[in-house]
Structure 1
Amino acid sequence: MALRQTLLSPGYVRLLLLSVVLGVPIALACFFFVSLQHELQHWVWESLPETAGYDRAPWWWPLPAMLLAGLLLAPVVTRVPGHGGHVPVNGLGGPLLGPKELPGVAFAALATLPLGVVLGPEAPLMAVGSGLALLALRSVKRNADPKTVLILGTAGSTTAISTILGGPLVAAVLVVEAAGLAGPQLVLLLLPCLLASGVGALIFTGFGKWTGLSIGALTLPEVPPDANPDAWDFLWGIPVAVLIAVIVTTGHRLGYLTAAWTRRHTVVRTVVCATAVGSCISAYALITDRSPEEAALSGQAALGALAAHPHSWSIGALAALVLCKGLAWGICLGSLRGGPIFPSALLGAAIGIACSGLPGLGTAPGLALGLATATAVVTRLPVTSAVLAVLLLSHDAASQMPLVVVCSVVGFVTSQLLEGERKSGASS
């Protein structure tokens, strides 16, 4: 009864309307934000090398690019309000970032992510969404209720992330799972977020077709041929999921070490970490004689290419990608700024496809379990990870769903066990 009264109250109805009204300008701003970021990335890694006379970025290209990224980010981390956003090793969580932190977050993302930082756009995008929502609320109402601030800030974040992670469904499930079992309070939080994210997805879709701009969302235009999982897929899938969880958790632990190391002498050590990331990316290009762009950046483009043409990558190239990109990702998690999800999805997919040569394990199941396991390890949200993997797999989703669900749980449990060992070891 209390929930019904709240839902029908004039104040809550106004809150729902406000979430829709704010969703339109926030979605527009976020659309052009990620479009600009994608265009800058294309210029740095494709247009500029072609202008310099190369058919693709040479192996040494990441070294000056990442050095520049470190030099641009270091003063933001140390002197600008909000420090350029949350440290990505801590996940997508943390307190909402308000209008004061917005310039630093936007600059850090636009100035460094296109240069090759091995992180995704999801965390800065969520921060931009929440910051714009709170800025609009503050301009309308100076002394807003804290609960209203929380709901509208979260709605702004889900508006921003709804399309970059596959649509409003993933955003809604993320809110549900991250909030925990909050009963009626969860419903009150979820409805404005669902409305705002739906409006955001509509804006992103419409403006993408109208302007022709790309936002670089996490999508798989093509996936390996459909194959229903059988007993062999589950027999191999569970240990492969454990392997993925161990590798991704190891990268995450490197992020904790890097974060602790950069707390002192932050300016110098941030530049050192960025240079180390560039070295890892260049090492991949030297080892494989492939483009360094595959190991740089967030990985959504490489993930799409890997899913569409998995057999064009040798086992050695996939191993080098996991090693070099995994090291670069771990360093970025603790020292630079961005989102942790996108690169982990590529790492999981690469391991899953590399293991698909095992007797009885298909390419499509390997891709499916890799996506679900890696994202569950990083986000600590197995349901959200399963939903995201299912949406990415498109027409293969129905057949791969049992394997996706099982492996997301296996990855989550394994990472929790490993995390518990890390904490117990640190405390002793």
Structure 2
Amino acid sequence: MAEQAAGPSGTPGIRALLRSPGYGRLLLVSALVGVPVSLAAFGFVGLEHELQHWVWQSAPEALGYGRAPWWWALPALALAGLLLAPIVTRLPGRGGHTPVHGLGGPPTLPVEVPSVVLAALAALPLGVVLGPEAPLMALGSGLALLAVGRARPTASPLLAPMLGAAGSTAAISTIFGSPLVAAVLMLEAASLGGAQLTLLLLPCLLASGVGALVFTGFGHWTGLTIGALSLPTVPKASLPDAGDFLWGVPLAVAVAVVVVAGQTVGHRFAEFTAQRTGVRTVICAVLVGLCVTGYAVATGRSPEEAALSGQATLAQVAADPRAWPVGALLALVVFKGLGWGVALGSMRGGPIFPALLLGAALGVAAGGLPGLGVEAGLAAGMAASGAAATRLPVTSSVLAALLLGDQAADSLPLLIVSAVVAFLTATLVHRAAGDQAQGRPAPAGTAD
């Protein structure tokens, strides 16, 4: 009982901290913060989704094309670079952190939020091969701090990081479609334990839960869609057998190697854009456009499949995996993987969504191997790519399970094994390369 009241060094124990008036006020503020953050996130993601639809579907149709032509990504990505260059060189916050360094850094200050939003809206709808998750976390963090105004951070050094984490969790839960994934992600990334874990857990869960409630109700009321990550249709899974695991383990290794290769490219381009950032940002955007165009030329398919975050293409692959030729899936891995690597080190956005598509595509391509099957390959590929990209195997397993919906129960053993194998492989490959810059991504709300 005494250990619960006080820590080993005389600091207040978990029970005393939970009963303190200051922590109670923090929980109340966290719940209230979830409301405006979720509404702002809804507006941001909804606008990004509408702009993306206009660029890649409405505009080509207005020009007489049934779909975006093979060259469409070149002017779109060049424009993205031109719009992004002044934001990352002149505005406070420089549009947010470079995504190759992880999902987040220190809490985003309110003055930095405009550049984060502008950078995301300038780049993501035009086809930059990144997701909206990192800008959403920065948006939530900045708005959480803005909502409480001058909260006398000197009163508690933990106030700003904890409120920033709560705001980030509330915002990112909108695009993951579940407050559970967002909360697990934040907690696993924070690498905390004991009393510290509990203290961070409650504000994040409360903010994301309240935010998800408001967000869902607002979506039903307006009838607007925001393109949250989801798989409306997934192939029917069965309990994994020995063949699934025999192929699933090397598949997870291969997926991890592909993801690490993309991150390595990202670090090289982060070094490249460190000097003459404006001009080189435009050059990198054009390179991403060339990668997307290369996919369209090589396969004869729409460049939209290789552009953007990959949410829509992932849903298409999951809905009918056998309709995709193995050559198209491998081309998607190569060209989108290269574009993702360039964008990781030079653009602004999140690293998770494109990685999930790369893993799913490689898993479905391997599904024709004797004894595996596309269903098991899809599940293992998504779990492995998420774990390799984020170094968060628990979050990746939960996310993959939620995406698979009612098919997740049978696939869960394979999901977990694939995530662990990919996590270990990515860690070993990074260590073997001696690239300390590619270590564990800095969690949102902590210093880099």
Q: Secondary structure at the match of 1:81?
A: coil
Contact map agreement 1:244 1:373 (CA 8 A) in 2: yes
From 146, 158, 167, the counterpart of 2:169: 158
Equivalents in 2 of 1:27, 1:88: separation in Å?
22
Equivalents in 1 of 2:23, 2:107: separation in Å?
21
Contact map agreement 1:92 1:339 (CA 8 A) in 2: yes
From 50, 60, 63, the counterpart of 2:71: 60
- Asked if residue 211 in structure 1 is aligned to residue 199 in structure 2, the reply is no
- 1:275-290 superposed matches below 5 A: 275-290=286-301
- Asked if residue 254 in structure 1 is aligned to residue 256 in structure 2, the reply is no
Equivalents in 1 of 2:286, 2:155: separation in Å?
44
From 396, 410, 431, the counterpart of 1:420: 431
From 61, 69, 73, the counterpart of 2:84: 73
Equivalents in 2 of 1:332, 1:86: separation in Å?
12
Q: Which residue of 1 aligns with 2:398?
A: 387
RMSD, aligned α-carbons: 1.4
- Asked if residue 110 in structure 1 is aligned to residue 121 in structure 2, the reply is yes
Q: Which residue of 2 aligns with 1:169?
A: 180
**What is the CA-CA distance between 1:141 and the residue it aligns to?**
5.2
Equivalents in 1 of 2:230, 2:161: separation in Å?
30
- Asked if residue 301 in structure 1 is aligned to residue 301 in structure 2, the reply is no
- 1:97-136 superposed matches below 5 A: 97-136=108-147
Equivalents in 1 of 2:297, 2:224: separation in Å?
33
From 21, 30, 42, the counterpart of 1:19: 30
What's the CA shift string for 1:329-355, capped at 9, x where partnerless? 000000000000000000000000000
- Asked if residue 87 in structure 1 is aligned to residue 111 in structure 2, the reply is no
Following superposition, which runs of at least 4 residues in structure 1 exceed 6 angstroms of deviation? Answer: none
**What is the CA-CA distance between 1:179 and the residue it aligns to?**
1.8
- Asked if residue 397 in structure 1 is aligned to residue 408 in structure 2, the reply is yes
Equivalents in 1 of 2:93, 2:26: separation in Å?
27
What's the CA shift string for 1:220-274, capped at 9, x where partnerless? 1010122221000000000111111111110110000010111111111110100
- 1:316-355 superposed matches below 5 A: 316-355=327-366
TM-score by length of 2: 0.93
Equivalents in 1 of 2:355, 2:71: separation in Å?
24
Letter in 1 for 2:21: P
Structure 1 segments unaligned to the other structure (5+ residues): none
**What is the CA-CA distance between 1:143 and the residue it aligns to?**
5.7
Contact map agreement 2:37 2:140 (CA 8 A) in 1: yes
Letter in 2 for 1:119: L
Contact map agreement 1:244 1:351 (CA 8 A) in 2: yes
Letter in 1 for 2:78: L
**What is the CA-CA distance between 1:204 and the residue it aligns to?**
2.0
TM-score by length of 1: 0.97
Equivalents in 2 of 1:417, 1:166: separation in Å?
32
What's the CA shift string for 1:376-402, capped at 9, x where partnerless? 011110111111111111011111000
Against the structure 1 CA distance between its residues 281 and 130, is the aligned structure 2 distance closer, same or farther, given a 3 Å change threshold?
same
Count of residues in correspondence between the two structures: 426
Q: Which residue of 1 aligns with 2:158?
A: 147
Equivalents in 2 of 1:51, 1:179: separation in Å?
47
Equivalents in 1 of 2:370, 2:301: separation in Å?
28
Q: Which moved more, 1:165-174 or 1:116-125?
A: 165-174
Equivalents in 2 of 1:67, 1:425: separation in Å?
32
**What is the CA-CA distance between 1:161 and the residue it aligns to?**
0.6
Q: Which residue of 2 aligns with 1:265?
A: 276
Equivalents in 1 of 2:436, 2:192: separation in Å?
30
**What is the CA-CA distance between 1:124 and the residue it aligns to?**
0.2
Fraction of identical pairs, as percent: 63
Contact map agreement 1:252 1:333 (CA 8 A) in 2: yes
**What is the CA-CA distance between 1:214 and the residue it aligns to?**
1.5
Equivalents in 1 of 2:406, 2:375: separation in Å?
11
